[in-house]
Amino acid sequence: MRLFGIIGYPLSHSFSKPYFHNKFAKENITDAEYHVFPIENINDIKTIINKPELLGLSVTIPHKQAVIPFLDEVDETALKIGAVNCIKISHHNNKLHLKGFNTDCIGFEESLKPLLKPYHTQALILGTGGASKAVAYVLNKLNIEFLFVSRTKSADTITYDELNKESIAHNLLIVNTTPLGMYPKVNFAPLLPYQYLTEKHLLYDLIYNPAETEFLKQGKLYNATTYNGEKMLHLQAEAAWEIWND
């Protein structure tokens, strides 16, 4: 039996286990299992990776950055992003080898590209956490200029109260990487002047539960195109599966 799994904390609402369970059943993959390993302290990864049948791990909050020192090798893109959400485990001459990848950026890029119009050349990234780094990497790659919007002012960020009619008109792509509006606190949304949105705006929310966040509802109200994080989630999982089976 080949074993795969996910590390993170908490994992009570993990999407990955049912996703891979369904995938294995649907595609008649009978030699694989996907387990959940809730670990609060990243040091506990050592107790998990020794299972000889374990070939791949997904990594989620809060370990995407902290896991890097435990790896033998990190793929170039993940290194640039500074976050790993997928680990391929192999055994060379009876020695364990852990290589880290970032598949969030693959999921984001592949889901975003079909939505882009030629005028989506400037973007706002809301939030400056782990996911925002994968988003920034992709926007850079696609030659889309961006500004980070944060609760804290710094050399690299603007704050929500600095947003006005002009900055909203200028940035026709807005990506929410904050957890605002995520289940169960569904009534929250980033503090934007939504009234300045137009039908040219594309609002992309990394959140997938609920399918339509308050952020996206506001976008719809002003005729913007809206998109949630579900496709990104599926694409990052499929990219991980390919890496583990490569």
Catalytic machinery residues: 64
107 binds ligand NAP (CB under 6 A): yes
| Stretch binding ligand NAP (CB under 6 A), from 5-13, 69-77, 164-172, 200-208 | 200-208
Region of residue 28 (left: phi > 0; alpha: psi -120 to 50; beta: else): left
- Quick one: DSSP state of residue 172? -
Least distance in angstroms from the C-beta of 118 to ligand NAP: 25
Contact pattern for ligand NAP over residues 141 through 180, marking x by CB under 6 A: ---------xxx------------------------xxxx
| Residue pair 173/144 in contact by the 8 Å Cβ criterion | yes
182 binds ligand NAP (CB under 6 A): yes
What is the pairing mode between strands 73-74 and 173-176?
unpaired
Calpha distance 83→86 (Å, rounded): 9
125 binds ligand NAP (CB under 6 A): no
Task: Name the closest residue to ligand NAP (Cβ).
Answer: 129
127 binds ligand NAP (CB under 6 A): yes
8 binds ligand NAP (CB under 6 A): no
Residue whose C-alpha is closest to residue 163's, from 175, 150, 176, 154? 150
Cβ distance to ligand NAP smaller for residue 2 or 79: 79
Among 6, 11, 87, 232, binds ligand NAP (CB under 6 A): 232
Calpha distance 99→79 (Å, rounded): 11
Among 16, 102, 218, 236, binds ligand NAP (CB under 6 A): 236
Structure tokens of 168?
A: 């909203």
111 binds ligand NAP (CB under 6 A): no
Calpha distance 217→162 (Å, rounded): 22
Task: Please report the beta strands in 75-117, taking only residues with DSSP state E, as ranges in sequence order.
Answer: 86-92, 95-101
Rg (CA), the chain: 19
How many residues sit close enough to ligand NAP to count as binding (CB under 6 A)? Answer: 24
| Stretch binding ligand NAP (CB under 6 A), from 94-102, 113-121, 126-134, 212-220 | 126-134
Among 55, 59, 202, 233, binds ligand NAP (CB under 6 A): 233
| Residue pair 182/213 in contact by the 8 Å Cβ criterion | yes
Least distance in angstroms from the C-beta of 31 to ligand NAP: 27
- For 110, the enclosing helix (H) or strand (E) is helix 104-112
219 binds ligand NAP (CB under 6 A): no
